[in-house]
Amino acid sequence: MKESIHKYFQVGIILWMSYPPERCGFLEPLRKICCDDFFDAVEITQIEDASERKKAKELLAQSHLKVCYGAQPRLLGPKLNPNAISEEERKKAEKTLLEAVDEAKGLGAKGIAFLAGKWEKETREEAFSQLLKTTRNVCDYAADRQMQVELEVFDYDMDKSALIGPAPYAAEFAAKMRTTNSNFGLMADLSHFPTTYENSRFVIQTLKPYITHLHIGNAVVKRGCEAYGDQHPRFGFPESENDVEELTDFFRVLRQEGFFRKEEPLVLSLEVKPWKDEEPDIILANTKRVIRRAWALA
């Protein structure tokens, strides 16, 4: 493409992935991204410390970045399940998602994203109904605050083993959600396509009516290999699935399917994290190089 990627997408970063807070802290990486004009958006998650939350709000207000809020860590950390068969357990997950909506709004975000919980074969249909209940309640709550809700599509049998996807199942869920809640959408992540045994064309075409947010990244799906599963290693990682060629194909499919929307650009965030003792700044530079090359070839 000769035109800038920024014409068609708001390029973002999942801050807590690229700069793991246990290694890098929070405010300094956020300040770094606020100063980096490669980015149009930043995705943050729960900030438990009130003083840090206040400072983050100030930095974000100055930055002109689009603020996105990922509630996935609020579920994954304490192992909360929004499709739990137990109503008590389901409500615990719903509660943290409702809290996430309020925190996100306070930080300037226009919505939240989350993921489905684990499932078991014998209760899959009931879990699907439980997830609909949770998601509708969260969407209703968010709508009252002019907020959006997005469900990220994950693997179903490899690592996260989430109820949603693969893509056809995600489309079925989204179709049911859209009958009651127009502020619901799906997040499609290139790094998850190999983990659901799918490719860009199939996923984008299947989920096309419902996609409101995009992620790009990499995965290792060969058992026994380092960084196996949903670990988001850098592009070009040994035995991994995605690099320049796969990202180029992803961009081409998005263009062919009508996702190059200069008037209403979707957020397209890189979700790549340093493996072990890799340096976050170098991994981020790696990702920018891959994006620039793939975009030039698309």
- CATH number of the CATH domain containing 106: 3.20.20.150
Nearest to 114 by CA among 167, 166, 75: 75
Give the pLDDT of residue 1: 81
Tell me the per-residue pLDDT of 109-139, one tens digit each, with 9 for 90 and over: 999 999 999 999 999 999 999 999 999 999 9
Give the pLDDT of residue 169: 98
- Rounded to whole angstroms, the Cα distance separating 34 from 289 reads 19
Q: How many residues does the chain have?
A: 298
Give the pLDDT of residue 158: 94
Mean pLDDT to the nearest integer, 161-177? 97
Six token digits for residue 281: 């700044």
Mean pLDDT to the nearest integer, 7-16? 98
Give the pLDDT of residue 30: 98
Residue 212's pLDDT band (boundaries 50, 70, 90)?
very high
Structural domain for 265, as ranges: 5-297
Mean pLDDT to the nearest integer, 236-240? 97
Which residue, chain included where needed, has tokens 């615990």?
A: 92
% of the chain surpassing 90 pLDDT: 99
Give the pLDDT of residue 141: 98
Number of structural domains the chain divides into: 1
Give the pLDDT of residue 289: 98
Give the pLDDT of residue 244: 98
Tell me the per-residue pLDDT of 75-104, one tens digit each, with 9 for 90 and over: 999 999 999 999 999 999 999 999 999 999
Residue 175's pLDDT band (boundaries 50, 70, 90)?
very high
List residues bridging with 270 in a β-sheet.
13, 216
